[in-house]
Structure formats: structure tokens, C-alpha cells
Copies of this chain bind each other. A is one copy, B any other.
């Protein structure tokens, strides 16, 4: 930790802080410069955080040197982690596509879609029973009934499932009916919910928040991991920027960054990341080329009747075409 003091700081001011660093068992460093005094503290920075050195009026800034996340860090676990969702694997060379409708609308809708995507090579079925919608007047999902449909279709088609959980009170139900939790972008910093799925026994697809840095995403994963559940799949799905031509700005730089700093599998959702049907295929290919371990693609057997996100959903032919295309890129990356 590097502590820059204000211009007017004296040696005496520095000593007060150096002593506090020393008292926590860290090694203090005094670096008087020509213009400012700089202090250092060598050791576990989580200990130092308790001192709240940036609250001191004489301190100009405090800069951390080490990453604030530990369990999900690549430093802790050099090998790629592999996460199993039902009998499907993601990570460590296992590429997997998750697909299905934005919202579960009916047994027929989900069954038709699930059969189609499995045939084209999807490994995991998605579908929302609880839908977070910006407007209270939009369709909010079928709830528990939706979860039951998801389970039934999962068994009939023999494909594992993932579905979003919005609130702690639904964690048990989701765990009963699905093979993995999804934490949506709006809930990435709903820490109680992160802790709840961290205590549960099934894997978690953790979506990046609209305003979350990649470090924020890793800290959110650390919340889950610190409760004991390390079966986490990180999902880049676009961030909010000034650009309005697309629904979000898909930040594919996040893939090499996350792969370098963290051992967890990373997938990309180009459906939300673009918001435009025609852009899903090229951006899915780009995600694979950037090093993604998987994709999440919204598919509906008939997008024109979809109750939500129809504009960005592929139909089954479109999904089949996408799968054939991206498989060529997966082959190149693995070669």
C-alpha cells in the first residue's frame, strides 16, 4: 500500500501513520521526496484496510498494490477451473453454449426451443422464470410455474438448466428446479443474494453489472467464493457507455483480462451485449476468438411473439447457423 501525504505534511504526521502500520504487523516505509512524503506498507493489505488511512486529513491518497480479491485470483489457483452444470462442463478447454428464451412463456414454447437448441449443439438450457424488468408494467415472468416447466423440459430433452434468481427467498426453489443459478447484471452487487448462492450447492453464472468494472466483477465472485461455493462462471454481457447505437457496449477486452487475473471460466452474452439480432453471430464469433469459454445466446422458436427481448433473440434456424459458424472458431482457438 502506497500512502501519499499532502504537501504540508511533516515528519511528525508521517510518524503517526507509520506507527499505525507497524502496530498491525506490517512493514512501514518512509520515503521523503523533493515535493511530497510518500509512505509504504508491505504485507497483507486487507489488514491495513481496517486502519482507514484515507480518512486522515493529512493523507492525499492511498493506492493498493495487491488485488483485493484472493480466492478467485489466478495467483491462488494457476490452473483453469472447470465448472460442471449438470453433466455439462465449462472451462479448461471445455467450450459450452447456453441458450434458450429470455423468459419462459409456456411449456410448448420452452420445449420447442429446447429441442431445437440441443439439436444444434447447445449444452445448457436457459430461461427466465423471474424477470427483472425496467418498467413495472412489463411482463414479470411465470414465477414458480416457470421453474416447474423448466424442470420438466430439462428432463424430457435431457439438458441441464440455468435460471435467474432475483431474491434470497427464491434460492431454494431455484436450486430445486434448476442446475445452476444466474445472478443478473442488476443484482451483481446484491451482496446478500451473492452470499445466499455462495452457501448453496449449485454453480452460479455471475453476470457483470452495467456499471461494474472487471475488478468489481471479481470482488462479486469473491463474495460467492468466500461462502464456500467456487463453482462460478463469469459472464460479460455489455456495459453502459455513451454509445446508444447498440443496447450495451460489449467489452471483450474483459475476456483476456479476466483470464489473466482469475482462474474461473468466462462466457459472453452477445444477445444482451448488442441488443440486435443481426449482430449476435459476429459478436459470438468475436467472443470465441477473444478466448471465451462459452456463450449465452437468447433463442426463441418464434421471436416475433416473444414476451421480452424479441429484438435480440435468434430463431432456431438462426441459432443453428450461429453454432455451425462459431464451431469453426472454437476449432481454431483449440488448435
Contact = CB atoms under 8 A, between A and B. Distances in A.
Number of copies: 4
B255 A252 contact: no
A33 B65 contact: yes
Contacts of A296: none
A121 interface: no
Interface residues of A, number: 105
Interface in A142-193: 166-169, 186-187, 189-193
A304 interface: yes
Name the residue among A32, A214, A290 with the largest chain B CB count within 10 angstroms. A290
Nearest to A195: B136
A211 B210 contact: yes
Nearest to A63: B63
B54 A43 contact: no
A220 B240 CA distance: 18
Interface stretch (A81-89, A91-99, A327-335): A327-335
A260 interface: yes
Interface string A288-315: 1111000000000001111110110100
A90 interface: no
Given A209-B211, A282-B256, A55 B169 contact: no
Contact of A135 (B209, B210, B222, B303): B222
B329 A245 contact: no
A251 interface: yes
Nearest to A55: B310
A54 B136 contact: no
Interface in A42-90: 42-44, 46, 49, 52, 54-57, 63, 65-66, 68-69, 75
Q: Which of A32, A35, A44 has the most CB of B within 10 A?
A: A35
A169 B170 CA distance: 12
25 contacts: A33-B42, A33-B66, A36-B65, A38-B42, A46-B137, A49-B137, A56-B304, A57-B304, A68-B137, A132-B189, A133-B191, A186-B190, A211-B240, A211-B242, A213-B242, A213-B244, A240-B242, A246-B257, A249-B249, A249-B251, A256-B282, A282-B289, A285-B290, A285-B333, A332-B332
Interface of A: 2, 4, 7, 27, 29, 31-36, 38, 40, 42-44, 46, 49, 52, 54-57, 63, 65-66, 68-69, 75, 132-138, 140, 166-169, 186-187, 189-193, 209-211, 213-216, 219, 222-223, 226, 239-246, 249-257, 260, 273-274, 277-279, 282-283, 285-291, 303-308, 310-311, 313, 328-329, 332-333, 335
